[in-house]
Structure 1
Amino acid sequence: MNDTPLRLDRVQGNVVPGFVADAQALLALRIVDPAAARSWLAALVPDVTTGAQVYACRAEKSFAGPWLNVALSHAGLTALLGTEPGLTDEAFTEGLAARSALLGDDGHPEDWVVGSPSRPVHVLVIVAGSPQAVSRKARQVLLRAAESGLVQVWSETGTRLGERGAAREHFGFRDGVSEPAVRGLPGGSEPFRVAPDGPQYASPGAPLIHAGAFVFGYPRQHPSHPVRPWTPASAGPQWTDDGSYLVFRRLRQDVDRFEEFLAREGERVAEAMGWAPRAAAESLGAFLVGRWKSGAPVIRGTANGRPDNDFDFTDPPDPLGLACPGGAHIRKVNPRTGHTDQGGPEDTLTRRILRRGMPYGPPHRAGDGKDRGLHFLCFQTSIVEQFEFLTRIWSNSPSAPRGGGMDLLIGQCRGGMRAAYLHGPDGRQVTVSTAEAFVVPTGGEYLFAPSTEGLRGLAEGKL
């Protein structure tokens, strides 16, 4: 299949192929003087890192950076343009704070540390690379922004936990194991494997997705065919081509509370699940996530396996969630080639997102009371049908995509009781429930990451 090559000299580098960094700073700014902000943006555009530049750095095994990307909220675009930007995604137009209740979030947006209604984010600058390079570049960006009258709303730096290629999140689980592959990248569209009547794969477990699922101006993933392209993705105005919607969520992780829950509930259900008491907490955590902390999927049946993405929930068949619970996190957000409440695997392919997050806060030490969590970042061309769908329709649902209860890791219920259902070796259902939230949103925004040409047009007022 001749896929449309991505214009990587225009697409921002954290969209495709994504930054690979030890540190990543997020700088949230508010525009006060639009004319001064345009001048600031014009001076910043030459520093914006493209996908082509990231590829070149990867080829040289150079990860120090600094790499820089820029995204703007609906209010930020409106301020720079002096009029409605005309982008068509209703979630982007309304903003994350206004959609918080719809997402079932615990807490109130007014209490957020970033992106609250009283402290809106107009511009988000992402700086990535080595900690030293990120620190220097972030200070430089903030100084120049202040000189141009932009107000610093918030800033925070996240750092990778663990070795590059073996990173973990604060709950201790291997992260970044499962990512889709984007068609149209250099060497990225030649299938590694073709499933009968199913998707093509770029590497084990990484289905090839048409670029329009993530970047505007390219063919989208067809909703009823796993390989065939569909109509090009459009955000509305032509200048948005080669851009992408960015979802930013600051998610606080309560590691102590999660571990206490696993110990308590693990002990309670150990006998019914056939777990040794000493391994009950670890086993319960793995079944709620769908992977052991090593990254090995529970459907493989061993805690000592290697990180593995080459698996499915249909081979061997597991329709009832006996090997991997239907409510497990990885099965909620990516049912793979299994059928769901929405239909076949073709629909699931249209829901994929490109995750680009980074943990923030110090590594966990029991009882230290430190604020830690995840700067969740993801790119897509429909916030409503991709990120919000995965959150509202699947993670927060007790019955979708294939039953099994809610996602107890990230699912939100606005203070209500959440339950997930496991099955013991005799097939008996075991219920695990809690009113506790282990992951709590504490900020964020919906943004648009334009192409480098789009950023220049915004800076010059020529759109």
Structure 2
Amino acid sequence: MRLSLFVVSVAVFIGSSTHVSAAKLGARQSRTTPLLTNFPGQAPLPSLEQHSTQRGANTLPLDNIQGDILVGMKKQKERFVFFHVNDATSFKTALKTYVPDHITSAQTLISDPSEQPLAFVNLAFSNTGLQALGVTDSLGDAQFPNGQFADASNLGDDLSQWVAPFTGTAIHGVFLIGSDQDSFLDQFENDISTAFGASITEVQALSGSARPGDLAGHEHFGFLDGISQPAVTGWETTVFPGQAVVPPGIILTGRDGDPTTRPSWALDGSFMAFRHFQQKVPEFNAYTLANAIPANSAGNLTQQEGAEFLGARMFGRWKSGAPIDLAPTADDPALGADPQRNNNFDFSDTLTDETKCPFAAHIRKTNPRQDLGGPVNTFHAIRSSIPYGPETSDAELASGVTSQDRGLLFVEYQSVIGNGFRFQQINWVNNAGFPFSKPIAPGIDPIIGQSPTRSTGGLDPLDQTKTFSVPLFVIPKGGEYFFMPSISALTSTIAA
């Protein structure tokens, strides 16, 4: 099924100010298949049965944590409905009624399919949104109060590429709706319109979908995504080889490992960094063909093989998900599809040499592993992104020029924005000198690095001194910082 991008500019929700109870929002048929999908190569979600048998002192209250924070990149379809609060009093009244039957917990998302809704709904707020609702407590995060637009130049973004309504602080919140069918997304978005009526204005809606067939779980450049998520203590019941294990406070506010003091109501929330990334797929493919690596240690390569090899070294993985640290000369689809093996490496064998993996490879820039000298929990986050837009057409591939909008609706959850998403982007991805203390300057992340000077080294293993000038293939079109509270906080504090 082709992907879709919906943009609704200042489209007012139509409805009376008399809010409809959750019970009146339409009868729900029973679900028979899981709401979420374990795509090949990704570590599977824990089951509720596993949690029930392994409960202990570190077990999290999964029934009170909004589900998207922990489940990662397991969604087949998702819609982000960004809104502005017009009437705080009416919004709070509607929220109290809406939350119990519609805001979906992590527990529900790993329960039996018959206990799951046709679509899940989660809800997060910007700082201006909380202020509009009279919630003025400091949440203890340095970046959250001013929003992402104020931070965009620090992230390296070209603000001329940002699109309304992200250019400012008019977005007060976002409903996240996830399902396996577009009709369910529509139905639940209509429910939001009915429930909240004129108390809010929808300012934009963005929809994404897993790519079709065997490409499901892959982003638009073709690479399997969502592999190296951290295991959160109290959430995962199985840790896979090579997976980082982090205390819950790295992701959830107020939990063990959270370095910041929070108001009591903020317990079990998380800061959500949202980014609207456009991907220039035809240009990426044309670049890898034009700069195809002619040979590796296994021998000479055809132009297409050299293009695939260059792309793999830019990412640090082959399109199958197989890491080049373990498969340095050719793709290994069986390795890529195996979560017991595809994350079991730490770069310790390439600390001073780029024969296997470039220092600047995307997965190395964003998760440096042994380049940091050992496990470091502080900078981990959980990604929960989804592709948007149509498949690349034959005409686009032939011309090497993008004519249809496509990309990634990127989401990352962490307890401290400055330790997770922001640190990764500024201190690692955009930093040509990171990883530090290498014999050759690594250069910028060739995939998501944002810098006027896009130079990357080490991409050719037989000529590691060669520098590649890499065009910008991922363009930030906007974003915002949100706080996703616990389910109880939505009614006890946000709606109070």
What is the number of residues matched between the two proteins?
Answer: 421
2:189 is paired with a residue whose SS is helix
Q: CA RMSD in A?
A: 2.4
**CA distance in 2: counterparts of 1:284 and 1:324, whole angstroms:** 11
> Which position in structure 2 is the counterpart of 1:155?
205
Q: Deviations over 1:72-111 (max 9, x none)?
A: 0000011112x533111111111000000000012337x4
**CA distance in 1: counterparts of 2:115 and 2:454, whole angstroms:** 44
4+ residue stretches of structure 1 with deviation over 6 A? Answer: 61-64
One of 14, 19, 22 as aligned partner of 2:68: 14
Change (3 A) 1:61 1:460: closer
> Which position in structure 2 is the counterpart of 1:312?
345
For structure 1, list consecutive stretches of 5 or more residues without a partner in the other structure.
189-201, 221-231
Would the aligned equivalents of 1:77 and 1:85 in 2 still touch at CA under 8 Å? no
One of 433, 447, 453 as aligned partner of 1:409: 447
Confirm or deny that 1:37 pairs with 2:63. no
Alignment map for 1:324-343 (pairs within 5 Å): 324-336=357-369, 338-340=370-372
1:56 is paired with a residue whose SS is coil
Would the aligned equivalents of 1:36 and 1:149 in 2 still touch at CA under 8 Å? yes
**CA distance in 2: counterparts of 1:428 and 1:409, whole angstroms:** 19
Confirm or deny that 1:452 pairs with 2:487. yes
Alignment map for 1:262-341 (pairs within 5 Å): 262-266=288-292, 269-270=293-294, 275-278=300-303, 279-299=305-325, 300-301=327-328, 302-305=330-333, 306-307=335-336, 308-336=341-369, 338-340=370-372
Change (3 A) 1:427 1:61: farther
Would the aligned equivalents of 1:42 and 1:459 in 2 still touch at CA under 8 Å? no
Would the aligned equivalents of 1:13 and 1:49 in 2 still touch at CA under 8 Å? yes
Deviates more, 1:269-278 or 1:165-174: 269-278
Would the aligned equivalents of 2:231 and 2:243 in 1 still touch at CA under 8 Å? yes
Q: Deviations over 1:262-295 (max 9, x none)?
A: 11222xx536886513212111111000011111
Confirm or deny that 1:187 pairs with 2:210. no
> Which position in structure 1 is the counterpart of 2:123?
70
> Which position in structure 1 is the counterpart of 2:403?
369
> Which position in structure 2 is the counterpart of 1:194?
none
For structure 2, list consecutive stretches of 5 or more residues without a partner in the other structure.
1-53, 397-401
1:298 is paired with a residue whose SS is coil
**CA distance in 2: counterparts of 1:333 and 1:218, whole angstroms:** 24
Confirm or deny that 1:353 pairs with 2:381. yes
Would the aligned equivalents of 2:310 and 2:459 in 1 still touch at CA under 8 Å? no
2:371 is paired with a residue whose SS is coil
Residue identity over aligned pairs, in percent, reads 29
2:97 is paired with a residue whose SS is helix
> Which position in structure 1 is the counterpart of 2:15?
none
TM-score by length of 2: 0.80
**CA distance in 2: counterparts of 1:272 and 1:380, whole angstroms:** 39
Deviates more, 1:84-93 or 1:14-23: 14-23
**CA distance in 2: counterparts of 1:331 and 1:55, whole angstroms:** 31
> Which position in structure 2 is the counterpart of 1:205?
242
One of 273, 282, 285 as aligned partner of 1:259: 285
Change (3 A) 1:281 1:86: same
2:448 is paired with a residue whose SS is coil
Letter in 1 for 2:123: V
Q: CA deviation at 1:19?
A: 6.9
1:288 is paired with a residue whose SS is helix
TM-score by length of 1: 0.85
Q: CA deviation at 1:182?
A: 0.8
Q: CA deviation at 1:353?
A: 0.7
Q: Deviations over 1:33-83 (max 9, x none)?
A: 1111212222221210011111214xx4987731010000000011112x5
Confirm or deny that 1:429 pairs with 2:484. no
Change (3 A) 1:166 1:155: closer
Would the aligned equivalents of 2:323 and 2:343 in 1 still touch at CA under 8 Å? no
> Which position in structure 2 is the counterpart of 1:50?
105
Letter in 1 for 2:240: S
Q: CA deviation at 1:320?
A: 2.5
Deviates more, 1:67-76 or 1:305-314: 305-314
Would the aligned equivalents of 2:224 and 2:320 in 1 still touch at CA under 8 Å? yes
Letter in 2 for 1:270: P
